[in-house]
Amino acid sequence: MEGSRKYCIFANIMNKHLIINKDMTTAREIIDCLEALRDDEQREVLMRFFKTERGEYGYGDDFLGVRVPQTREVARQAKDVSLSEVPELLMSKWHEVRLCGFLILAMRFERLAAKRLVDDVEAIRKRDEILLLYLEYAERANNWDLVDLSAPKILGHWLLLPTKLGNGTEEYKWRLLDELAQSGNLWRQRMSMVCTWKTTQQGDPSWCLRYAEMLLLHPHDLMHKAVGWMLREMGKRVSMDLLREFLRQHVHEMPRTTLRYAIEKMTETERKQWMAMPVSKHK
């Protein structure tokens, strides 16, 4: 562990170890740092929480037991690492190492999306490069937290910005998300849905509504939750009437989990009315 100690200095704050004051420039240094934070007791908790038993959605995923705030701090210290180092992180067997790689991409993308850089030619090129790298390794975001902590900040933000990909057309953006939604891969499909959180925050409900409808009858509970969550955010941030209209069209077919998530911000009386609606049998 001596090599790891070179890159990790620990400060005990409220009984939690945080990394401080050391920059990292290679994937190996980042991995060493995270491995130095291994916590076997927390590892067992995370393995249960993220459903890693045979037959569960997270089967095969392996954890170090590093908490998310710790991983975020490592990512902040490694924010300037070369993009060429990131694939090694994304290919790691360790969940937290992959998370760190995705967080680094998200942080890098957000810096390049600063207001002063929105139309900057070099910034556009670098944002597109990050997006393509993200999509290339999308299936390495193979648990819901990896998707949720990266898709809105990279893919969702990219939808709102100028791009040189596909000649910079909106049609290209729709086509790219359609391919994710229709891919048959749970994690790519969740990306297409969860990334709409960013577009919804900017007042555009069209992305959310399109992929909520497209993925409404997805068989997996994780997608039921994602669709309902994004519909709820759309109603809260854009229009509750628009949400109600979507529900009127689909309430008899949508999974009850999706409906429960979508109506969370409504009054108790209205929630009970929606939940009392009969459900048609899915084909």
113-163: pLDDT as tens digits = 999 999 999 999 999 999 999 999 999 999 999 999 999 999 999 999 999
Residue 156: count of CB within 10 angstroms of its CB: 23
Question: Residue 5: what pLDDT?
Answer: 45
pLDDT at 227 exceeding the cut of 60: yes
Give the tens place of pLDDT for each residue, 104-115: 999 999 999 999
- In 3D, which of 23, 20, 49 has the Cα closest to residue 37? 20
In b/e form, how buried is each residue of 78-108, taking b as 16+ CB within 10 angstroms?
beebeeebbeebbebebbbbbbbbbbbbbbb
HSE-CB of 225 using CA atoms within 13 angstroms: 7
pTM surpassing 0.75? yes
Spatial CA neighbour of 4 closest among 25, 32, 26: 32
Is the model more confident about 51 or about 268? 268
State the pLDDT confidence band at 24, using cuts at 50, 70 and 90. Answer: confident
How confident is the model over 234-248, as pLDDT tens digits?
999 999 999 999 999
- State pLDDT tens for residues 186-198: 999 999 999 999 9
- Give the pLDDT confidence score for residue 53 in this predicted structure: 87
H-state helical runs in 8-120: 27-36, 40-49, 68-77, 86-90, 95-112
Distance CA 98, CA 281 (A): 39
* pLDDT tens digit sequence for 73-85: 999 999 889 999 9
142 SS3 class: coil
Quote the pLDDT of residue 17.
Answer: 52
Lowest-confidence pick of 7-11, 181-185, 222-226: 7-11
Asked if pLDDT for residue 10 goes beyond 80, the answer is no
